[in-house]
Structure 1
């Protein structure tokens, strides 16, 4: 971060209070024991875009129209919810369920890349962004109340997609997808021959790189991640190689705190069903089960992080968002046909149960519990 950005943070009174912290906030990757509200981006059959709030118990929904297709979400402590833009996103939406919507514009030469997180005190918002002309991945830094842009950190890689705060409250973990894009070329991938995905740990107070990890297969784009309360990290991967010639060794990786980033074992026949594409993740810390959705493969998969291997998978139509209901020991999964399903968290194969169905709602990307 440059000197001007540092002075802005200091002047705003947020740098020391929000980034040099002792008190931890709830991690967005861990469901609260009695979560009752689900948030998700959604579409309707006419092509409208929304942020939808769902009461899990009653099934009632409330939707706010938004001007773009959303991706990740972040509930704020005051009840507002940020919906992050992607594909590419030149704005984010902050939804206040009683007062409508506020827009957060991207800074000049940047676009949002789908996700964000708060500092431990909740005063600072970090957003994954692409500084496209400079070919740099950055974390935008904003005041979480006013959304004033205060500065940025380098992510030490291209295409940062997801960022989460680690349980120490001091470290950010970033999934750099490694893919170069530019709005002038739409969603075209410009550097597949040289792409270098990485998982990077960054000091939240200074922007200094703490550690960086890469997988042996550079065609495995590191897209989504989950940080557990124990400091472990799960990673969902998307394969940019030629699936007709070769299947990837795996599409899910796991990193024990202080260890290496390792692919979880799976057979070639099993990995083929996921069509090279994994999306959202959720984790059961008691059973050590990682659940990962594959919308292109039309399956929800379950993996043992204790045994470092694939367990089983179950067909669903374009499963996208996934979360863990700790009080029920279940995984909740949304799909593109309007279904909300639950799976028991078990090492053995088990069928999904349909919890709710909304035929005019196409659930998208991710779900977040609150």
Structure 2
């Protein structure tokens, strides 16, 4: 539940030098350098009307026009009940324009229909999903989760050119207590894009589904299933996580049949995010949680001063966890898996967050905000082809990543602020296209 007051995490972020900005557009001066107003900003033709959408996690830590965001009538026009979750959605035009609105969802990711007619703000660990107008950010529809006690899985994908949207959803959380694991499997709901009315649903064949990706022209859906449950006799998740069955599942969209499934952990590694370019090109991010003492041991060799990890929760640390490459075919049980990158790379794979697949250059690109790292991997071998320490260019805590509509560039966003643009294939930073708005925290972004 959000409020206008600052929480502990927001105070820590401001103490780390990530100050709030009441306005992020227009012409401002930073260190004597004037930033161009949107009308003066040169933008390539392929990006003239492109925008990046960012769901901001902590609207209670922001103001606009001198007011808390929830009290700003323009930004909070869709909020009817301030006692329910809401998030700040920012539309960052590549021309430098900014449009923002609060929408009533505990959002994690955002998806835009291929024809840009509608978008969905994906609820996470909460009951509601919302659809919105991608240009105005006006609320179009709101709908509850699949059933009583069910929770949003945080991610979505569009089907049929945007007429329908698939949303990952999680079963009511409870300990296994000796029962069948199938009783905890989540579902994919197939909804009308404009009303979010459920038309059909399929099992994800795994516990707590999260990111979902369509492959092979929509024939199959690939789902990342966290796999964690409370320990027997308990009601909440533990640290480290009690992973019963983390997995990647491939579902036939014709009938919901499970084509293949690979269990990746039954101990403490959650399977969170993935990207895919086909059955032989599936890339999955794992996460391992520990406490401050675990992090101290892992970082004992790093003598440089470092600030608090603003992407984590108090008392929880993200430890290294290898990113995986999986390959399957149409034979059940044939999926293979191996860890990507070198040992040095894997040590930096802390809090792997966003991952995308570039079919033109056959590369997967991923962010690891707890290590300030962005890495690119060869699609065939899983070898690392590029590794960026974002601190060297001012990109701290890189979280969201998305391909821009021109087919030439991709954007990476810092947790609290700033949007950096890179060239696909070469991974060259394109400083002239970078923007520096404030998001108020996020995990994922999408461009349209």
Give TM class, smaller chain: 0.7 to 0.9
Q: Is 1:362–2:437 an aligned residue pair?
A: no
Aligned to 2:348: 273
Please state whether the residue corresponding to 1:179 is helix, strand or coil.
Answer: coil
Q: Deviations over 1:286-337 (max 9, x none)?
A: 3322110112222212222233222323223111111234746333101123
Aligned to 1:295: 369
Q: Distance in 2 between matches of 1:351 and 1:109?
A: 45
Following TM superposition, by how much is the alpha carbon of 1:168 offset from its aligned partner in structure 2, in angstroms?
Answer: 3.1
**Per the alignment, do residues 202 and 345 of structure 1 end up closer, same or farther by CA in structure 2, a change over 3 Å counting?**
same
Equivalent residues in 2 for 1:27-42, closer than 5 Å:
34=46, 36-42=50-56
Following TM superposition, by how much is the alpha carbon of 1:83 offset from its aligned partner in structure 2, in angstroms?
Answer: 0.3
Considering only aligned residues, what root-mean-square deviation do their CA atoms show, in Å? 3.3
Q: Distance in 1 between matches of 2:279 and 2:148?
A: 38
**Per the alignment, do residues 171 and 362 of structure 1 end up closer, same or farther by CA in structure 2, a change over 3 Å counting?**
same
Following TM superposition, by how much is the alpha carbon of 1:121 offset from its aligned partner in structure 2, in angstroms?
Answer: 5.2
Aligned to 2:179: none
CA contact (8 A) 1:167 1:231 kept: no
Following TM superposition, by how much is the alpha carbon of 1:241 offset from its aligned partner in structure 2, in angstroms?
Answer: 6.7
**Per the alignment, do residues 169 and 287 of structure 1 end up closer, same or farther by CA in structure 2, a change over 3 Å counting?**
closer
Aligned to 2:335: 260
Q: Is 1:105–2:164 an aligned residue pair?
A: no
CA contact (8 A) 1:50 1:64 kept: yes
Following TM superposition, by how much is the alpha carbon of 1:41 offset from its aligned partner in structure 2, in angstroms?
Answer: 0.9
Q: Distance in 2 between matches of 1:197 and 1:225?
A: 13
Which of 24, 30, 52 aligns to 2:90? It is: 52
Q: Decide which structure has greater strand share.
A: 1
CA contact (8 A) 2:285 2:322 kept: yes
Q: Deviations over 1:161-182 (max 9, x none)?
A: 0112212322111111111269
TM (norm. structure 1) is 0.77
Q: Deviations over 1:188-219 (max 9, x none)?
A: 34993442111111121321111111236753
Following TM superposition, by how much is the alpha carbon of 1:361 offset from its aligned partner in structure 2, in angstroms?
Answer: 2.8
CA contact (8 A) 1:64 1:95 kept: no
Q: Is 1:89–2:126 an aligned residue pair?
A: yes
Q: Is 1:238–2:287 an aligned residue pair?
A: yes
Q: Distance in 1 between matches of 2:161 and 2:97?
A: 32
Please state whether the residue corresponding to 2:345 is helix, strand or coil.
Answer: helix
Aligned to 1:307: 381
**Per the alignment, do residues 350 and 367 of structure 1 end up closer, same or farther by CA in structure 2, a change over 3 Å counting?**
same
* 257-266 or 68-77: bigger deviation: 257-266
Q: Distance in 2 between matches of 1:267 and 1:229?
A: 24
RCO comparison, higher one (Cα < 8 Å, 6+):
1
Which of 374, 383, 400 aligns to 1:321? It is: 400
Q: Distance in 1 between matches of 2:98 and 2:279?
A: 33
CA contact (8 A) 1:59 1:356 kept: no
* 115-124 or 63-72: bigger deviation: 115-124
CA contact (8 A) 1:220 1:251 kept: no
Equivalent residues in 2 for 1:146-295, closer than 5 Å:
146-180=195-229, 188-189=237-238, 192-215=241-264, 218-228=267-277, 232-240=281-289, 251-256=322-327, 258=329, 260-275=335-350, 277-295=351-369
Q: Distance in 1 between matches of 2:163 and 2:437?
A: 38
Q: Distance in 1 between matches of 2:220 and 2:444?
A: 23
**Per the alignment, do residues 124 and 343 of structure 1 end up closer, same or farther by CA in structure 2, a change over 3 Å counting?**
closer
- Structure 2 unaligned spans of 5+: 1-44, 64-68, 70-86, 174-182, 299-317
Aligned to 1:125: 165
CA contact (8 A) 2:156 2:165 kept: yes
Q: Distance in 1 between matches of 2:405 and 2:91?
A: 20
Q: Deviations over 1:107-129 (max 9, x none)?
A: 31211010122333544332111
Q: Is 1:63–2:100 an aligned residue pair?
A: yes
Q: Distance in 2 between matches of 1:291 and 1:78?
A: 24
Aligned to 2:76: none
Q: Distance in 2 between matches of 1:177 and 1:318?
A: 22
TM (norm. structure 2) is 0.65
Structure with the greater alpha carbon radius of gyration: 2
* 287-296 or 225-234: bigger deviation: 225-234
Q: Distance in 1 between matches of 2:272 and 2:404?
A: 23
* 244-253 or 309-318: bigger deviation: 244-253
**Per the alignment, do residues 269 and 157 of structure 1 end up closer, same or farther by CA in structure 2, a change over 3 Å counting?**
same
Q: Deviations over 1:132-170 (max 9, x none)?
A: 155331222323333222343221110100112212322
